[in-house]
Amino acid sequence: MLFKTFTILALAIGVIANEAVPPRPRTNAEALARGLPILNPRGQYGGGGDNNNGHHGHGHGGHKPRPSGKPTPTQAGPNPDFVKTCDWFEVEFSNNRPILTALCKDNRGKKKYSEINLNQCIKLNDDGKLTCAPGGFVGRSRRGRDLESAMIGARHGDNNGGGQRNKGKCTGCDVVSGDTIECSCPIKTGGRIDSSYTLGNCISNNNGRLTCKSAQN
């Protein structure tokens, strides 16, 4: 009888403990918003490692989302290319919001987490090329469908895939090497091209905060 009572109490405590544990964040942006540690990124800087959730993490020298060691002040100028002064960064294309999250040094060498929506910094030109200017390059269709899902449907012969509705924005974006992304982008005369862009050409580290270089000009 005593053993049975002990077993019931143990099960009850286990249920309560499980209910008390909050769900794990699905993205680093969600983790930062909730004040939780970021997810462990996969891949190394320059490798382009990714997982099944559209996350692409990069870090200098390994899989450490929170590098340790004494901070060293940056020598790259007031607004350097973020790759030179950020120990780790990740690009997420989930929900058609291209989010860059990074762990960067401020002017005193202290490391801070920062994120920025790449649509605020990068623009799609009529020739299908990406340039450093506000305007955006990834978005949603008029029916609110995920552009990536719509294009996948169109490629598989789905007439409702949204190819006509989505021809004004880039789709299929991915990190191909280091901080270089590549997307399938439309051109004004019709058709699409593969357009690549190096984020460091447009994103800088301003005292530990990711900013658009176009906004500084």
Domain ranges of the chain: 26-216
Q: Are 99 and 91 in contact (CB under 8 A)?
A: yes
Whether 121 shows a pLDDT value over 50: the answer reads yes
Whether 14 shows a pLDDT value over 70: the answer reads no
SS3 label, residue 96 = helix
CB atoms within 10 A of CB 158: 14
Whether 55 shows a pLDDT value over 70: the answer reads no
> Lowest-pLDDT range, 67-76, 119-128, 202-211?
67-76
CA distances from 75 to 65, 88, 108, 110, 210 (A): 23, 18, 11, 13, 17
**Residue type at 3?**
F
CA distances from 61 to 66, 68, 105, 125 (A): 12, 12, 17, 35
Q: Are 98 and 118 in contact (CB under 8 A)?
A: yes
* Mean pLDDT of the chain, nearest integer: 70
Q: What are the CB-based long-range contacts (under 8 Å, 24+) for 156-160?
A: none
Q: What is the pLDDT of residue 59?
A: 53
State the pLDDT confidence band at 155, using cuts at 50, 70 and 90. very low
**Residue type at 134?**
P
SS3 label, residue 118 = helix
DSSP strands (E only) in 13-144? 55-59, 86-92, 99-105, 111-117, 122-124, 130-132
Architecture of 26-216 per CATH?
Roll (2.30)
Specify the DSSP element, H or E, that contains 125.
none
